[in-house]
Amino acid sequence: MSNTENINAVADVAVQAEESAGAATSSKSGKLTLLPLVALVVGSELGGGVFNLPHDASAAASPGAIILGWVITGIGVLALALVYQNLSMRKPELNAGPYAYARAGFGDFVGFSSAWGYWISAFLGNVSYAVAIFSALAFFFPVFGAGNNLVSVIGASICLWLLHTLVLRGVREAAFVNVITTIAKLAPLLLFIVLTLLAFNYDKFTFNFWGNATADGFEGLGSVMGQVKSTMLVTLWVFVGIEGASVFSGRAARRSDVGRATVIGFLATLAIYILVSLLSTGVLSQPELAGLKVPAMAYVLEPIAGKWGSGLINLGLVICVGGAFLSWTLLCAEIPYVCGKDGIFPRWFSAENAAGAPVNSLWMTNGLIQIFLILSLFASTAYQFFYSIATVAILPPYLFSGAYALKIALTGESYDENPRGRTKDLVIGLIATVYGVWMLYAAGPSFLLMMTILFAPGMVVYVLARRNAGEHARLFNVWEGLFALALIVAACVAGWLIYQGTISPF
């Protein structure tokens, strides 16, 4: 996962490096050309999720289904990336993130719901990061177990509140931290790809290719479509943050390079993800991969390279995800802070302290993270659960972004002065919208129902925000009222099903 501040910090380093090397970037000093833009896209997209891909992708899917899952995700996420790139040019006045597109296209309540989902996704993603960090540390210090035992939760809580204190004092992450974490990602990933490629067993890869074998210790994995659906949240999780690529627009020597860099960087990242997930299936069988703990990549490498290989992967994950934990601590607080300034959240969230830190937003956000860290004690697969809910929560912002791009392409809004590319943008918006709907279907009713429990309290916040803004008239139009009512009903149903034990949050 990535964020604007993280990207901008790395971009500053890239600009300085290019200038110090005497590169002729353009007539304007300090602008980025295609190559550093591609590097920035790759660095911002690669996150902690890649380190557990061998397990997560194979947990309920065969190699053939994994390939189909990546094809669907590749098309959908690329369309989504192009949507954000297109909207950044067609709607330059909307610069407050995905929720701004949802609000502009479909009204305040839909915009709020997108912002609320984005916030939930961000802080639950941070919870999953904390579990991943201490699960990796367990390789060196077994006392941390699976990353969500009492010792791990205490350790994660200490880290959380230390970062909280730093941010309250106005401290922001230094650019060199981002450079270190980027190197920490790429070095073990490239080593993993090379070693698993050398150890790749084609017969093991092709055996039970579609997951229908039931002999020799294998169990059938069900229909191919069901297997593909099982990979969807996994494959989208590793691309959460794709919207950050549009941040590069203002730093590019040529604006056209942004689109090229987005495509090239995305394809490079996609290639890494595909190689990591598929090469693993040529080293260990599907049941073996499904039984690995976080981070699975380390345990795939251990039979090939020994303890030093898995130790390197675990160390790389700790550094990489540790940097991401810092970045997303900042982002989590920034979302409600910006929304508070815009009037979508209550103004209380927009308060700053003397150091310019979003104090109220930070306290609320980190308080929620602390609560969910404690709840992780009761989860058997805490990392997978929290990233799954985080991924489902971000689906509304992504869906409405694609739908907004489709809407303005259909109506011709913002195409009067530059009508070129309208048909292409319509197709891209349609693909991104269909992908968003498909993802809601693939998430399944259990996760969607559990998500409504987190979304329903947001309506109280929305009403407070509207009252705070002096809007005492009707808060919802007819469609918004129906949507709000459906959300409340779904949350009540979810609560009842959890009480009955029909669905379980853990």
3-class secondary structure, 32: strand
Look at 168-182, 184-198, 343-357, 421-435 and tell me which has the smallest mean pLDDT.
168-182
From CA 321, how far away is CA 305, in angstroms rounded?
A: 23
Give the domain ranges of the chain. Answer: 4-500
3-class secondary structure, 97: coil
- Structure confidence at residue 91 (pLDDT): 85
| 280, 283, 287, 290: CA torsion to nearest 10 | -30
- Structure confidence at residue 44 (pLDDT): 64
pLDDT tens, position by position, 133-174:
999 999 999 999 989 999 999 999 999 999 888 888 865 544
Q: Quick one: which H or E segment has residue 231?
A: helix 224-237
Decide if pLDDT at 65 tops 90.
yes
Average pLDDT over residues 167-183: 60
For the chain, percent of residues with pLDDT exceeding 90: 47
Average pLDDT over residues 453-470: 87
Average pLDDT over residues 80-107: 84
- Structure confidence at residue 32 (pLDDT): 67
- Structure confidence at residue 246 (pLDDT): 55
- Kindly state the tokens that stand for 129: 């990061």
Look at 35-44, 54-63, 436-445, 485-494 and tell me which has the smallest mean pLDDT.
35-44
E-assigned strand segments in 341-390:
none
Mean pLDDT of the chain: 84
Average pLDDT over residues 84-90: 84
Decide if pLDDT at 258 tops 90.
no
* 23 against 367, higher pLDDT: 367
- Structure confidence at residue 100 (pLDDT): 86
Decide if pLDDT at 334 tops 70.
yes
Cα 330–Cα 332–Cα 337 angle in degrees, nearest 5: 90
Decide if pLDDT at 106 tops 70.
yes
381 band by pLDDT with thresholds 50, 70 and 90 = confident
177 band by pLDDT with thresholds 50, 70 and 90 = low
From CA 496, how far away is CA 492, in angstroms rounded?
A: 6
- Structure confidence at residue 26 (pLDDT): 42
Average pLDDT over residues 324-331: 75
- Structure confidence at residue 329 (pLDDT): 78
Decide if pLDDT at 440 tops 70.
yes
Average pLDDT over residues 375-386: 89
- Structure confidence at residue 5 (pLDDT): 43
Query: Which of 49-53, 256-260, 318-322 has the largest mean confidence?
Result: 49-53
C-alpha of 129 from chain center:
11
- First and final C-alpha spacing in the chain: 23
Average pLDDT over residues 389-402: 93
DSSP codes joined into one string, 289-346: HHTPPSSHHHHHHHHHH-HHHHHHHHHHHHHHHHHHHHHHHHHHHHHHHHHHHHTSS-
Average pLDDT over residues 283-301: 91
Q: By the 8 A CB rule, do 330 and 3 touch?
A: yes
Decide if pLDDT at 422 tops 70.
yes
pLDDT tens, position by position, 23-58:
444 444 456 677 767 766 776 677 778 899 999 999
From CA 236, how far away is CA 240, in angstroms rounded?
A: 6
From CA 115, how far away is CA 344, in angstroms rounded?
A: 8
Average pLDDT over residues 435-459: 93
- As assigned by CATH, the class of the 4-500 domain is mainly alpha
3-class secondary structure, 432: helix
Decide if pLDDT at 9 tops 50.
no
Decide if pLDDT at 281 tops 80.
yes
Decide if pLDDT at 496 tops 70.
yes
* 474 against 229, higher pLDDT: 229
- Structure confidence at residue 312 (pLDDT): 86
- Structure confidence at residue 30 (pLDDT): 53
Decide if pLDDT at 248 tops 60.
no
Average pLDDT over residues 70-94: 88
Phi, psi of 225 (to 5 degrees): -60, -40
DSSP codes joined into one string, 44-56: HH--GGGGGHHHH
